[in-house]
Amino acid sequence: MTSPLLDVRELRVGFGPAEVVRGVSLSVEPGECVAIVGESGSGKSVTARALLGLAGPGSAVRAASFHVAGRDALAFTPADWRRLRGGFAGLVLQDALVSLDPLRTAAAEIAEVLAVHDVVPRARRAGRVLELLDAVGVPEPALRAGQRPHQLSGGLRQRVLIASAIAADPALIIADEPTTALDVTVQAQILRLLAERKAAGTALLLISHDLAVVAAVADRVLVMKDGRVVEEGPVRQVLAAPAHDYTRTLLAAVPSAASRGTRLTTGTPRTRPAPNLSGQVLAATALSHSYDRRPAVAEVSFTLHEGETLGVVGESGSGKSTLARLALALLEPAHGRVALHQRQWSNQPERARRPLRHRVQLISQNPLDSFDPRHTVGRLVAEPLRLPAGERRERVLDLLERVGLPPGTAGRHPRELSGGQRQRVAIARALGPRPDVLVCDEPVSALDVSVQAQVLDLLADVQAEYGTAMVFISHDLGVVHHVADRVLVMKDGRVVEEGDVEDVFIRPRHPYTRALVAAVPRLGVPAA
């Protein structure tokens, strides 16, 4: 029996009077992958950072016992921690664009770790950098080594970060949401890469909000909530037979094929009127649009019927958001046209479109960006309403009630609200003008899974009640499978496959759709 690389008992981290980690015990054995899963604010990231002495200024870290590499970490000086980081443990963070120095090349980033920990003699450093880039699957390492973060894609940046984390051949890699900002196919590659490191004997501590990601690589999982571990055990056992209510809720809230037709928050069946296929609401014909001669959307056609949800899936850069802007007529197509209720919608002066504007409303990914920062919730929700001042207030309160917000919310500023509440405000505002079409551009991708479940349920309720048609854009195949009737699969601006959501996701025909479906990490199928 080897001694654990890391062992901490009753870890507590506080910032001023607030304690965000309240007694977490955890250990990582050599070659093991331990995952911490939790929603935002659960304290999972702070735990990970505290384990590397990076809890941050103003923090108070306490523990009953704390051993790193067999030494007592409670007595560590800042210099001890520095020696440990990079050498003994590598850290991979979520957003590589922020974590990488924009002025330094990929090679310089990795070479720094080699230099600090004196891994190889100076003369061999450049060669070692290329070996590392190759090892993490960066194509053309010699070319990429000389590039800076803004020249690299999200996936490549994350690989560079992983390369620098493993440069000093650490015994442990701590990865905090390493794939959250990535497309699913890239995510699958990064997860494979992490699994390879694990196979090579490196221990992994993986922090994630995504249970499916954890299922793919972890051996053991800790579920955190409000700074405490609520459940802990082998990953198969926790996912297959969760013992704690919170874990069960978390698992049930994940939208997928299986959750179709049920309410995510309660798991009960949900009925909704079938879409009216004879009532065409929005129709796009051969839409094309380019930015600087680079085609963003090419030859895309679709029809949206009353009460129908059209899912649009694709990876970043596939043209999904451009398609949303074209559907909203915020952008005029270079070719093709959009019709609303069989009347002209695109390709006309804004003045002619204005009287119809209220029929098509937008719900965006980041509601805070879509709110004027000076306005209160009440004023925001009132903005699209065309009512006499006297009736407005009442209608605003109605709308807030409809989306499950107390009337008191009207006087508050959105930045005082949580992410889920903000998205509810955005939905209330979009419902105000009684639209026929809601264009939802990644409406839940910034939300925690339990909040996402609430918002998806709310959108489904709204659709059932008003018969609103929806264009639902998402990178998350599970979400689209849960909500959509039909789906468009986009790649490089083109629709590569379309059809009934069950057909497309269960029996994909196009190779790209197959790759996309295969790349989605699945719950309950832990990698061997």
Partner 1 sequence: MSALTRNAPPLRIPPVAVLLPVAFLALLGVAVAAPGLLTAADPLAADPLAALAPPGGAHWLGTDHLGRDVLARVVHGARHSISIGVAATALAVTGGVLLGLAAGLSPRWLEETLTRAFDVLSTLPELLLALLVVAIIGPGTGNVILAIAVAQIPNYARVIRAQTFVVRRSGYVEQAVTFGRPRAAIIAGHVLPNVLGPIPVLATIGLGTAIIAGSGLSFLGMGPQPPAAEWGAMLSEARNYLRVAWWEAVFPGLAITLTVVCLTVAGRRLQRRFEGRTP
What lies within 8 Å, CB to CB, of 374 at 6+ separation is none
Among 95, 134, 226, 383, binds partner 1 (CB under 8 A): 383
Tell me the window of 2-10, 158-166, 367-375, 402-410 that interacts with partner 1 (CB under 8 A): 367-375
Q: Which is nearer to partner 1, 252 or 324 (CB)?
A: 324
The minimum distance between CB 58 and partner 1, in angstroms, equals: 5
The minimum distance between CB 423 and partner 1, in angstroms, equals: 13
Q: Which is nearer to partner 1, 422 or 482 (CB)?
A: 422
Tell me the window of 11-19, 145-153, 314-322, 509-517 that interacts with partner 1 (CB under 8 A): 11-19
Q: Which is nearer to partner 1, 329 or 458 (CB)?
A: 329
Among 370, 376, 445, 450, binds partner 1 (CB under 8 A): 370
User: Are the beta carbons of 255 and 478 closer than 8 angstroms?
Assistant: yes
Among 101, 118, 245, 372, binds partner 1 (CB under 8 A): 372
User: Are the beta carbons of 282 and 303 closer than 8 angstroms?
Assistant: yes
The minimum distance between CB 321 and partner 1, in angstroms, equals: 12
What lies within 8 Å, CB to CB, of 69 at 6+ separation is 5, 6, 84, 88, 171
Q: Which is nearer to partner 1, 215 or 329 (CB)?
A: 329
Structure tokens at 192: 């494979």
Among 58, 349, 388, 408, binds partner 1 (CB under 8 A): 58
The minimum distance between CB 285 and partner 1, in angstroms, equals: 21
Number of residues that bind partner 1 (CB under 8 A): 32
SS (H, E, C) 270-338: CCCCCCEEEEEEEEEEEEEEEECCEEEEEEEEEEEEECCEEEEECCCCCCHHHHHHHHCCCCCCCEEEE
d(CA 29, CA 83) in angstroms, rounded, equals: 20
Strand 172-176 versus strand 89-92 pairing type: parallel
Tell me the window of 57-65, 88-96, 336-344, 501-509 that interacts with partner 1 (CB under 8 A): 57-65
Residue 208, phi then psi, degrees to nearest 5:
-155, 155
Q: Which is nearer to partner 1, 360 or 428 (CB)?
A: 360
Site for partner 1 contains 94 (CB under 8 A): no
Tell me the window of 10-18, 113-121, 191-199, 515-523 that interacts with partner 1 (CB under 8 A): 10-18
Q: Which is nearer to partner 1, 341 or 510 (CB)?
A: 341
Residue 486: strand, helix, or coil: strand
CA quadruple 13, 19, 24, 29: dihedral positive or negative?
negative
User: Are the beta carbons of 381 and 399 closer than 8 angstroms?
Assistant: yes
CA quadruple 180, 463, 523, 507: dihedral positive or negative?
negative
Site for partner 1 contains 469 (CB under 8 A): no
Among 249, 366, 376, 445, binds partner 1 (CB under 8 A): 366
Which residues, 302 to 361, sit near partner 1 by CB under 8 A? 328, 330, 350, 353-358, 360-361
Q: Which is nearer to partner 1, 101 or 372 (CB)?
A: 372
| Closest-CA residue to 191 (of 92, 78, 275, 50) | 92
The minimum distance between CB 206 and partner 1, in angstroms, equals: 20
Site for partner 1 contains 236 (CB under 8 A): no
Site for partner 1 contains 492 (CB under 8 A): no
Concatenating the DSSP letter of every residue in 338-377 gives: EEETTEE-SSS-HHHHGGGGGGEEEE-S-GGGGS-TT--H
The minimum distance between CB 415 and partner 1, in angstroms, equals: 8
| Closest-CA residue to 8 (of 51, 53, 56, 49) | 51
d(CA 437, CA 441) in angstroms, rounded, equals: 13
d(CA 37, CA 46) in angstroms, rounded, equals: 13
Q: Which is nearer to partner 1, 15 or 76 (CB)?
A: 15
Q: Which is nearer to partner 1, 159 or 289 (CB)?
A: 289
Site for partner 1 contains 527 (CB under 8 A): no
Task: Mark residues 407-436: x for contact with partner 1 by CB under 8 A, - for none.
Answer: ----------------------x---x---
The minimum distance between CB 430 and partner 1, in angstroms, equals: 9
SS (H, E, C) 395-461: HHHHHHHHCCCCHHHHHCCHHHCCHHHHHHHHHHHHHCCCCCEEEEECCCCCCCHHHHHHHHHHHHH
Which residues, 120 to 139, sit near partner 1 by CB under 8 A? none
User: Are the beta carbons of 12 and 62 closer than 8 angstroms?
Assistant: yes
Q: Which is nearer to partner 1, 176 or 231 (CB)?
A: 176
d(CA 236, CA 254) in angstroms, rounded, equals: 17
Among 9, 12, 15, 137, binds partner 1 (CB under 8 A): 15
Tell me the window of 53-61, 176-184, 215-223, 259-267 that interacts with partner 1 (CB under 8 A): 53-61
Instruction: Give, as one character, the DSSP assignment of residue 378.
Output: H
Q: Which is nearer to partner 1, 18 or 274 (CB)?
A: 18
Among 5, 6, 8, 20, binds partner 1 (CB under 8 A): 20
Site for partner 1 contains 260 (CB under 8 A): no
User: Are the beta carbons of 56 and 228 closer than 8 angstroms?
Assistant: no
Binding site for partner 1 (CB under 8 A): 15-16, 18, 20, 56-59, 328, 330, 350, 353-358, 360-362, 364, 366, 369-374, 383-384, 429, 433
